[in-house]
Amino acid sequence: MRGTHRISLQNKRIRYDFEIKRNITVIRGDSATGKTALVDMIREHYENGTASAVELTCDKECTVLEGRTWAGQLSMMKDSIVFIDEGNEFVLSDDFASAIRNTDNYYVIVTREGIPSLPYSVEEIYGIRDSGKYGTLKRTYNEFYHLYPTIDNRHAVRPENVIAEDSNAGYQFLQDVCEKNGGMTCISAHGKSNIFSAVIRHLSEKVLVVADGAAFGSEMEKLMRVIKNYPNVTLYLPESFEWLILRSGVIEDSGLGEILKNPENYIESGDYFSWERYFTSQLIRITRDSYLRYAKRKLNPAYLQGKISDRILAVMHGIKFKR
């Protein structure tokens, strides 16, 4: 499945109207916010159709996955939007993550906690906003590409140190930038699950955390609790380092502009578990026969050249590395 899909759902008491555009959407929130009511209405319509008291409009089949037989149910779900209510503990398992990895469904998961085994985006974490009898989804983390605290050109962030998600190309790029700008330190967290502990060790410093927003959703809640109390810690979450390169304009490709404008129309959920993987595959494809040939594990030194490096850094609006 690919593209944006609108779901309009109502009964005599309440109406929901929202759109989803990635393979995993997470709905968070406390009790009595309408999360379970949403899933119940999907289930009722699926089981009883027009005989139910629920009206559902969507261009894809909407269904519910639940219970101990979830794996068997999932094997029969194709090209569908699958809703999972909180309390279904299987969503936290590696077995579930493995089972949905190559499916062509979209998944809407209701949960009160992060799901570390799933690579879901900070862009697709929602709460339900209830205005009278009308319910819609409200993005939980809704800054543009999630700059925390808000970064603007009037008050640019000038970090003393940088924490990068892993030790791959993105880290290697940031490490070079730090060395060239006053000997700043660039620290590899060696995985998104380690970023929280890395931040805790550097709370007294002016730190910039850079990670792949396309798969960072499970880490957001605990990290935001820290950042709210320590304004010297800034979180920057582009889709991925590869996305930064593609956005920078250093790569020329006739179809790239439209892909970056509406990636959901090009990313097939059955082929790419997260958008980060899609952007990596595109960058590798486009640069395969050029001097900018890209490899994720070891960064091509061409990306460290002054003009190219500067154009990539320019995409990181409001962040100034030069002292």
Which pTM value belongs to this model?
0.90
Burial letters 40-54, b for 16+ CB under 10 A, else e:
ebbbbbbeeeeeeeb
Amino acid at 300: N
Q: What's the CA gap between 110 and 84, in Å, rounded?
A: 6
Q: Which residues of the chain have pLDDT under 70?
A: 29-33, 129-155, 322-323
C-alpha distances in Å from residue 129, one per residue of 12, 36, 121: 18, 14, 20
What pLDDT was estimated at residue 128? Answer: 78
Q: How many CB atoms lie within 10 A of CB 39?
A: 22
Return the H-helix or E-strand segment holding 285: helix 275-287
Q: Count CA atoms closer than 13 A to 199's CA, side-chain side.
A: 28
Residue among 4, 12, 34 at smallest CA distance from 106: 4
- Which residue bears the tokens 């555009």? 21
Element holding 163 (H helix, E strand)? strand 161-164
Contact 84, 112 (CB under 8 A): no
Query: By the 8 A CB rule, do 292 and 285 touch?
Result: no
Q: Which secondary-structure segment (H or E) carries 75?
A: helix 70-75
Report which DSSP code applies to 152: B
Distance CA 219, CA 207 (A): 17
| Gap between the terminal Cα atoms of the chain | 46
Q: What is the pLDDT of residues 94-135, one digit of tens each?
A: 999 999 999 999 999 999 888 999 999 988 988 876 555 555
Query: What are the strands, taking DSSP E only, across 201-247?
Result: 207-210, 233-236
Long-range own/partner contacts, residues 305-309 (CB < 8 A, 24 or more apart):
308/248, 308/250, 309/173, 309/176, 309/177
CA of 256: how far to CAs of 183, 188, 194, 273, in Å?
35, 30, 33, 20
Q: Is residue 56 left, alpha or beta, with left meaning phi > 0 and alpha meaning psi from -120 to 50?
A: beta
